[in-house]
Structure 1
Amino acid sequence: MRKFAMSALVAASLVLPGLGHAQTKTITIGFTTSETGKLNADSKPQLLGFELWRDQVNAAGGIKVGNDHYKVALKYYDDQSSAGRVQQLYSRLILQDNADFLFSPYSSGLTATAAVVSEQFGKIMITTGAAEGKTYKLGNKDLFQLYTPADKYLKSALDVIKAKDPNAKIALVYSNDGFSTAVAKGAAAAAKRMGLNIVFDESYASDTTDFGPIINKIVSSGATVLIGGGHYADGSTLARQLYDKKAKLGFISLLVAPDIPKFADLGKAAFGVTVPSQWEPSVTYKPDFGPTPAGFTKAFEAKYHSRPGYHAAGGYAAGLVLQHAIEQAGTIKQAAVAKALNHMNAMTFYGRIHFATGVADHGLQIGHDMVLAQWQKGANGKLTSQVVWPTAAQTASILYPLKKFAQ
């Protein structure tokens, strides 16, 4: 009898929380990431940002929710850069993995697919790496965007052209994916309002590897500057082939690709190329909560031995903003956290975060501003990314016009 009683106590100890010890609580955040596929290079830094935030939160004891602390668990799958897998996997994250909150995949296209699922189940999704604005104009209630919307992406590049050479002939060349197309349409409209001259406007397939025919058209158009691009694979290839074919342009601004650190591996082809950036390590925002820009940069470099770009910063900021909303709400209930997000208007290391709350554009980011960065030679002769616009934020003067073939 005594042996049976002891066995029962042992069995019970495996099921019930230990007496005198608080039960461990966990918040599960679900998402997909492109560990494989064409979006891998862009998606990877975002994942590193998520993971750095999780590690720091857990090392500090977790997210404070009322009198409790919750550790963060990240549950994610490889979406293989495929919309079909995103729809399947976000359903799995909600229905099988019981994710409490969601982060978006990388890219506007994949995020739009994930949003169909998250909205169906009423799950808050913090979107990062997803700038296209139309997803937030469909009556969605639980999406909250961190990136400056796509139609404003190339505004800083156009400001430079207007200030430096208002008579420039502009080539607008861009990937035909949803994000890049939205950026290009916004840029074309802005250029018209600013009195700037677009002499060539053409999209290309996102998997293009030979830009020769397009570059020939750019040269024939008489364009003196080029803006556009898409993601890393196509953008880096376009930059390299522009240099190889000696397309003598005075200014080049490409989306996404030049903000990935390995873009510098292109060497002379990377020199002088600019990128509209959601964030750069040199910004000097004074945050209302969370780390300073320098603090985030130092922590990222210590953990990953590389300098963070805006994809990594956006990943970390997604976690930071969600954490702050949960702490402000004092609960993990969706409605209360959504209310805290709707009321947020705060400065972070990543910049100001403020969401539209109207029915027509709920969740659209309306507080965050962008900067323009350029690859220049540092004192050691190696390429380094410098903030060159606006002038109030610059760490170096912009190189304009660009004399790439003298390098």
Structure 2
Amino acid sequence: MKKLWFTLLLAAIASFGMAQTITIGLTVSKTGKYNVESVNQLNGIKLWQQWINDQGGIPVGNKKYKVELKYYDDESKAERVQQLYSRLISQDKVDFLISPYSSGLTAKAAVISEQYGKVMVATGAASDSIFKLGYENVYQIYTPASRYLTATIDMLKAADANLKKIAIVYEDSKFAKAVATAAKSYAQNAGLNVVLFEGYPPSTTDFGPIINKIKASGAEALVGGGHYADGATFARQLYEQKTPLKMIALLVAPASDEFAQLGDAALGVAAPSQWEPLVKYTPDCGVTPGQFVSMYEKAYGKTPAYRAAGGFAAGLVLQKAIMDAGSLDSAKVRAALDNMDLTIFFGKIKFSTDPKSHGLQLGHDMVQIQWQKKDGKLVKEIVWPLGAKTADLIYPIR
């Protein structure tokens, strides 16, 4: 009997000493069209994992749980996402989910998250439509697509009271189309004439025909774009064809550091950004913007873009919800997310609890960046809103 008691005591001690873990599942576009953005997002998630694990893990009650990540390559293909998220839940037994990059892929993952009742923090996904389907388990980090380019229109109106004609040309993808449609309505309500509203296939590499339409339309400014590959190509060809525009503002691509590789074709191009290293948010918890930038530069040798910040933010928000819930129970974590109203290094975070838009991001706002030259070097500057600017907007750019 004593021997049995001693054996049980040793087992209890060993169990107490074992590291408790929380496993978070996701897919990453290690290959395919979303590779650049998705890997940046993963870098941010992994940095958060390292940061919280270095502190002993996520406190839950009187225990701390180390974070493990389980992820697969979705190849930027929607058909792989549902298969892999089902595998993460049913075979890998993950506790929580983080979304893939892009609204299209996240929409597929959200179906599985909801089917299995698994909480999923959606980062890198701005589409409103995902959050209009009555889902209870999906929570958005990014500013929604419906508000993505509204500040860009405000900026243009403030820069040029006489501006009348704009072109909206967008990648025919779920995210970009939603952004462009909302921007068209907002621009028209602001008194602007949208003289060209046209989508292009995601695989487009020759923008010549579209650029000819822009020139023929008499547009004074262009907004639109889609993701990195198409946006960078579009900007380069606009420059090469000397398109007479006073302003170019494109989604995603100009917000990436890699955009500077375009050289003079990048100069003056603006973009809405979910986050920039120069922001000065005062967080209620977690790291400051400066601390995040320093950590990222040390880990990866470069300044983080907003996709990386969004990845770290997703982990931080999930961590805070688990801590507030004091539990790993999905219902309790959902309740904590529903009640969340805080500022982190990424900005304000607050989710809609309306059943018609549950999980939609209400708190976070965009900033506007523009590529400018400083000491002969291309740099990103924050030019809007005025209270956050690091430089004046260059207008017109040509």
Q: What is the TM-score when the length of structure 2 is the normalising length?
A: 0.96
Matches of 2:14 and 2:79, distance apart in 1: 47
Find 1:60's aligned residue among 42, 55, 59.
55
Find 2:364's aligned residue among 356, 361, 368.
368
Find 1:307's aligned residue among 303, 313, 321.
303
* 3-state DSSP of counterpart to 1:398: coil
Find 1:28's aligned residue among 23, 47, 50.
23
The answer as to 2:45 corresponding to 1:43 is no
* 3-state DSSP of counterpart to 2:17: coil
The answer as to 2:295 corresponding to 1:272 is no
Matches of 2:23 and 2:11, distance apart in 1: 22
Matches of 1:111 and 1:150, distance apart in 2: 14
Matches of 1:302 and 1:260, distance apart in 2: 19
The residue type paired with residue 47 of structure 1 is: L
Q: How does 1:127-138 map to 2 (within 5 A)?
A: 127-138=122-133
* 3-state DSSP of counterpart to 2:131: helix
| Deviation (angstroms), 1:16 | 5.0
| Count of aligned residue pairs for this structure pair | 392
Matches of 1:287 and 1:21, distance apart in 2: 34
Aligned partners of 2:119 and 2:334 also within 8 Å: yes
* 3-state DSSP of counterpart to 1:399: coil
| Deviation (angstroms), 1:22 | 2.3
With over 3 angstroms needed to count, the CA separation of the structure-2 counterparts of 1:247 and 1:340, relative to structure 1, is same
The answer as to 2:99 corresponding to 1:104 is yes
Matches of 1:132 and 1:362, distance apart in 2: 13
Aligned partners of 1:17 and 1:23 also within 8 Å: no
The answer as to 2:310 corresponding to 1:331 is no
Matches of 1:277 and 1:112, distance apart in 2: 21
Which residue of structure 2 aligns with residue 258 of structure 1?
A: 254
Aligned partners of 1:174 and 1:181 also within 8 Å: yes
Q: How does 1:214-293 map to 2 (within 5 A)?
A: 214-293=210-289
Aligned partners of 2:81 and 2:105 also within 8 Å: yes
Which residue of structure 1 aligns with residue 117 of structure 2?
A: 122
With over 3 angstroms needed to count, the CA separation of the structure-2 counterparts of 1:171 and 1:19, relative to structure 1, is closer
With over 3 angstroms needed to count, the CA separation of the structure-2 counterparts of 1:19 and 1:85, relative to structure 1, is closer
Q: How does 1:348-387 map to 2 (within 5 A)?
A: 348-379=344-375, 381-387=376-382
Q: Structure 1 regions of 5+ residues with no counterpart?
A: 1-8
Matches of 1:292 and 1:181, distance apart in 2: 34
Matches of 2:243 and 2:151, distance apart in 1: 23
Matches of 2:217 and 2:137, distance apart in 1: 45
Which residue of structure 2 aligns with residue 296 of structure 1?
A: 292
The residue type paired with residue 129 of structure 2 is: K
Matches of 2:384 and 2:14, distance apart in 1: 60
* 3-state DSSP of counterpart to 2:278: coil
Q: Structure 2 regions of 5+ residues with no counterpart?
A: none
Matches of 1:213 and 1:399, distance apart in 2: 28
Matches of 1:264 and 1:44, distance apart in 2: 19
Matches of 1:261 and 1:99, distance apart in 2: 33
Matches of 1:161 and 1:258, distance apart in 2: 17
Matches of 2:310 and 2:335, distance apart in 1: 22
Identity, in percent, stands at 55
The residue type paired with residue 203 of structure 1 is: G
* 3-state DSSP of counterpart to 1:218: helix
Q: Alpha-carbon deviations, 1:93-122, whole Å to 9, x = none?
A: 000000100000000000000000010000
| Deviation (angstroms), 1:259 | 1.2
* 3-state DSSP of counterpart to 2:100: coil
Matches of 2:220 and 2:160, distance apart in 1: 10
| Deviation (angstroms), 1:23 | 2.3
Matches of 1:21 and 1:171, distance apart in 2: 63
With over 3 angstroms needed to count, the CA separation of the structure-2 counterparts of 1:252 and 1:20, relative to structure 1, is closer
Find 1:176's aligned residue among 172, 177, 195.
172
The residue type paired with residue 396 of structure 2 is: P
The answer as to 2:102 corresponding to 1:89 is no
Which residue of structure 1 aligns with residue 390 of structure 2?
A: 395
Shifted more, 192-201 versus 172-181: the winner is: 192-201
Matches of 1:239 and 1:133, distance apart in 2: 26
Aligned partners of 2:164 and 2:191 also within 8 Å: no
| Deviation (angstroms), 1:270 | 0.7
What is the Cα-based RMSD across aligned positions, in Å? 1.6
The residue type paired with residue 27 of structure 2 is: T
Q: After TM superposition, which residue ranges in structure 1, 4 or more long, deviate above 3 angstroms?
A: 15-21
Find 1:196's aligned residue among 188, 192, 203.
192
| Deviation (angstroms), 1:150 | 0.2
| Deviation (angstroms), 1:19 | 4.0
